[in-house]
Structure 1
């Protein structure tokens, strides 16, 4: 049974059996990994403190034929707001569910992992709704399923002003390539989405947000994710109760 060590963020945890959990980790070296944490629900288990959502861990795991097993864990970072603030927790769960649904198991994404760490830290000081929206726009870029906003998806022409949008086509279209029934895509909405996608989390300044554009950018993203999954993300029901 091969043992390996990796840095990981907890993206999911389900109770299993009397004292165990089935965990979902996003790891730096192996991407999405599912593993069993035996006995971690017992109060004296050395794994108990680490198997919490959004924890950043140093993990030791044993490879298994069906599922890997958590052998040891060291807590590297505790994100206080994501574990104590209900609003931050809700929007963080949206980001975690996005990753669980759209990442294939066992495919390393080290750059995406580093970006996620910046996003989790951002939840500590920034507006959680805006942070979550920017996070998913950014993380979507690593999946190969991102929408395109800077050039017409039909002719490749650079978009500068108002344009049109078609989800099925994969993004924005110029006036020459638009067809009847396509959604108008104002330049201000396009610029706002790009500001979310390209935001540098090391910037001290907060993102400048218009409530109207925020709602439109959310609607566009959620509609697209639902079309890919065939259903809404479950975490949205939790957010709607806030």
Structure 2
């Protein structure tokens, strides 16, 4: 059995047996890794701090036939502010599930890793989490190869988009002439389209001060979330919890 070291973020876990936990880690070199942390739920376990959800740690792992095993871990960043706040915790869990669903096993991507690490730092300070969610969703889809065409009509290539529809099926915007190509396309305003373009063009941290009306936020949620769910082909379980706490 081989032994290897990697930095990784804990993006999920489930309890196993009496004191163990099976972790889902995301590493820049190895992508998504499943590993068992033995005895981690026991009091004073040396693995506890570095294996909590969202923890960014340096891991020493032993390769196994079905599951790797965590031998040691050194905490680099705990992101405890996320876990202490119910809203941030819910959004963080949703972001982590989107990452897990959209990533294949052992598909390495340093760019996606750095993007998600930046997401966690921003999640500790971002005020409007609804805007952050739409930004994360669209940017993650683009990084995973599902970038929508929103700078011209996806069907005819026309750029004079006076009235705009967004088609998740076709993967982009439709002009009025082409809207019949998808009868489920969602009509969006030019303002909402402008925000979507900003999200794709600007860096994540440049959008932290973005202020939007509730109407625009609702438009973006309808269009972008429909696009995400179409690409993933299933609804994340954490989205239901996120919708529940938003009503509190």
Same fold (TM over 0.5): yes
Correspondence list, 1:6-25, <5 A: 6-25=6-25
Which residue is equivalent to 1:196?
199
Instruction: Tell me, in whole angstroms, the C-alpha distance in 1 between the residues paired with 2:32 and 2:18.
Output: 25
Which residue is equivalent to 2:156?
155
1:19 and 1:42 in contact (8 A); partners too: yes
Is 1:232 the counterpart of 2:235 in the alignment? yes
* Higher share of residues assigned helix: 2
TM score, norm. by length of structure 1: 0.92
User: How many angstroms does 1:25 deviate by?
Assistant: 0.8
Which residue is equivalent to 2:113?
113
* Partner-residue secondary structure (3-state), 2:39: coil
Which residue is equivalent to 2:211?
208
Cα 1:138/1:175, change in 2 over 3 Å: same
**Structure 1 stretches (4+) deviating beyond 4 angstroms?**
none
Instruction: Tell me, in whole angstroms, the C-alpha distance in 2 between the residues paired with 1:30 and 1:167.
Output: 30
Which sections of structure 1, spanning at least 5 residues, go unmatched? none
Instruction: Tell me, in whole angstroms, the C-alpha distance in 1 between the residues paired with 2:168 and 2:228.
Output: 10
1:12 and 1:24 in contact (8 A); partners too: yes
User: How many angstroms does 1:106 deviate by?
Assistant: 0.4
Which residue is equivalent to 1:134?
135
Q: Which moved more, 1:120-129 or 1:160-169?
A: 160-169
TM score, norm. by length of structure 2: 0.90
Cα 1:81/1:131, change in 2 over 3 Å: farther
* Partner-residue secondary structure (3-state), 1:126: coil
Which residue is equivalent to 1:219?
222
1:92 and 1:132 in contact (8 A); partners too: no
User: How many angstroms does 1:159 deviate by?
Assistant: 5.3
Cα 1:211/1:34, change in 2 over 3 Å: same
User: How many angstroms does 1:83 deviate by?
Assistant: 1.2
What is the aligned residue count? 242
Instruction: Tell me, in whole angstroms, the C-alpha distance in 1 between the residues paired with 2:24 and 2:6.
Output: 14
Q: Which moved more, 1:87-96 or 1:218-227?
A: 218-227
Instruction: Tell me, in whole angstroms, the C-alpha distance in 2 between the residues paired with 1:230 and 1:139.
Output: 15
